[in-house]
């Protein structure tokens, strides 16, 4: 009986260690990110993404210089899985967009997607 208890304890400790390592390895995405994208029929757009840590995950705001989104629009459905970051944001007309980015230190690169199928690339650098 003690042998089974010891094996069970080892598995619990290994699972806890794996969870701690996964948490420790998660990149820090909090802060202010300054970015760029090209908007079809509108041109270059400067972006600002602010991400904050909460007790249950992340929250933040998204803004642009072409007023495609309302100033400091809330980002929603923020997901961080390894080096993959995704979130939603609404355009000024209410259209819900999806951003999918890869994290590389103080840089983010990826795409934004419109529900009708169009999209484009966007890149960010963390503001220091």
Q: Could you count the other beta carbons within 10 Å of the beta carbon of residue 55?
A: 4
Predicted TM-score (pTM) above 0.85: no
Domains of the chain: 28-126 (2.40.128.120)
When computed from its CA atoms, the radius of gyration of the chain, rounded to whole angstroms, is 19
Task: List the chain pLDDT tens, one digit each, 128 residues.
Answer: 555 556 656 555 555 555 544 444 679 999 999 999 999 888 999 999 999 999 999 999 999 999 999 999 999 999 999 999 999 999 999 999 999 999 999 999 999 999 998 899 999 999 98
Residues β-bridged to residue 62:
49, 73
């Amino acid at each position: 009986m003690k042998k089974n208890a010891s094996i069970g304890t080892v598995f619990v400790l290994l699972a806890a260690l794996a969870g701690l390592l996964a948490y420790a390895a998660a990149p820090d995405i909090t802060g202010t990110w300054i970015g760029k994208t090209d908007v079809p029929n509108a041109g270059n757009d400067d972006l600002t993404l602010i991400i904050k840590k909460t007790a249950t995950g992340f929250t933040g705001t998204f803004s642009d210089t072409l007023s495609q989104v309302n100033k400091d629009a809330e980002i929603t459905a923020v997901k961080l899985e390894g080096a993959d970051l995704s979130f939603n944001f609404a355009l000024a007309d209410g259209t819900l967009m999806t951003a999918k980015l890869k994290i590389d230190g103080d840089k983010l690169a990826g795409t934004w997607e419109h529900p009708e199928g169009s999209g484009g690339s966007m890149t960010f650098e963390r503001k220091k």
